[in-house]
Amino acid sequence: MIKQQVLNRVADKSAVIGIVGLGYVGLPLMLRFAEVGYKVLGFDIDDSKVDALMAGKSYIEHISAESIAEARGRGFEATTDFARAPEADALIMCVPTPLNKYREPDLSFVLNTIDSLVPHLRPGHLVSLESTTYPGTTDEELLPRIESRGLKVGQDAFLVFSPEREDPGNPNFTTRTIPKVCGGVTPACQEVGVALYSAVIDKVVPVSSTRAAEMTKLLENIHRAVNIGLVNEMKIVADRMGIDIHEVIRAAATKPFGFVPYYPGPGLGGHCIPIDPFYLTWKAREYGVNTRFIELAGEVNSNMPDYVVGKVAAALNKRQKAINGSRVLVLGIAYKKNVDDMRESPSVMLMEKLRDLGAAVAYSDPHVPVFPKMREHKFDLKSVPFNAETLASYDCVVLATDHDKFDYPLLQQAAKLIVDSRGKFLEPAEHIVKA
């Protein structure tokens, strides 16, 4: 029986694990499978990533070159050749699911990947999709493509959805310790998927279907997006009333029940929270449902960069300066503190809006030495040094991402004007503006 053969190979660790997409999700998963003794074969369409990994190098800050070299020593290989897919027993897809210019789901990476794999699928393959997407993607898009190969899912091949839960830069949780949700197309698929992930994850949480697993991931991120939208709106109200929202949040967080602190900022960033709600709102329209609550939170969060720019304009104006012609330094362009991940970073939106208004924009970020190539944003910039002389040379310094590596006492002392969008400075000062 094919299912039992796959389960046996997973159990005795003779199964070869294929990771498709070697980015912030795929790479930690590869390291975990290699760590426990599986042979891992990594697939990516980016030659430079494959070359780096084969040389034992890392291109993600929080993943060390030593860990890549160790995985290589355990037999890990990376390739751009999808024809090698039959060598793997499991094919785990960790590819992006962005939005298109109309803020609609862009499944091109998922569909192109499965279309590249289908000609090479064989009996016994387990296919797992980890990319965040709308409920129905796995059984509407992947299932028919796999079965077009002549494989009966649940008998000849197995298909599950198991959403990624990586939190880059968080020292408290690892790939191993974050519980893993898994939903299968059939009970047999579920059994194989749970067995595979149980070999490397401390706790696997089975759900009844791939759609339930897809919806679980969306709920997790929409929960954050809505609460951040709420606290961003509260920040604007509190600011108009002359109240420090960060003081209020700290006070409210002392309540030991019924309140979870969320913190305002210059907008939402990362590959999940700014994007995932739109996957559900788009799919909900197919069922005649308007997701007004979710869309309102998205609207509030999307407007936060404009709010911060307005604060910059008002602060400069108070000093008889215009944004046009002013030198503005943006501190931190990663989407959150202490990482080098810039996906959907609100800092980049800030930089673009300031540039469009005529500011001479620069940035400083110890985690991003050179502004990378991005699909929708273009800056030919390098991180400027963080020192007293540099800080004093700008008309305004905008704290956009509050990295721990920044010297905040030096910033407060050296900068002429600080617009703080992260609530880092607790004590009021004449040259510090809360945004």
- Tell me how far apart the alpha carbons of residues 349 and 205 are, in angstroms, rounded to a whole number: 37
DSSP strand pairing (16-20 vs 39-43): parallel
At 286, the amino acid letter reads E
Which residue bears the tokens 């408290």?
A: 172
Q: Check residue 409 and report its DSSP letter.
A: H
Distance of CA 37 to the CA centre of its chain: 28
Q: Are 84 and 44 in contact (CB under 8 A)?
A: no
What dihedral do alpha carbons 105, 111, 112, 117 form, nearest 10°?
150
Q: Are 22 and 78 in contact (CB under 8 A)?
A: yes
- Tell me how far apart the alpha carbons of residues 235 and 404 are, in angstroms, rounded to a whole number: 23
Task: Indicate if 189 belongs to the active site.
Answer: no
- Tell me how far apart the alpha carbons of residues 246 and 332 are, in angstroms, rounded to a whole number: 20
- Tell me how far apart the alpha carbons of residues 302 and 222 are, in angstroms, rounded to a whole number: 14
Q: Are 382 and 369 in contact (CB under 8 A)?
A: yes
From first CA to last CA, the distance across the chain in angstroms is 62
Catalytic residue among 94, 182, 189, 272: 272
126-129 sheet: strands from edge to edge: 77-79, 39-43, 16-20, 90-93, 126-129, 158-161, 180-184, 204-207
- Tell me how far apart the alpha carbons of residues 39 and 259 are, in angstroms, rounded to a whole number: 45
CA distances 434 to 23, 36, 391, Å, are 35, 48, 18
- Tell me how far apart the alpha carbons of residues 229 and 347 are, in angstroms, rounded to a whole number: 17
Which residue bears the tokens 């963080």?
A: 386
- Tell me how far apart the alpha carbons of residues 254 and 101 are, in angstroms, rounded to a whole number: 42
Which of 401, 434, 312 lies closest to 361 in space, CA to CA? 312
Q: Are 264 and 245 in contact (CB under 8 A)?
A: yes
CA distances 347 to 181, 210, 343, 351, Å, are 32, 35, 10, 6
Residues labelled catalytic: 272
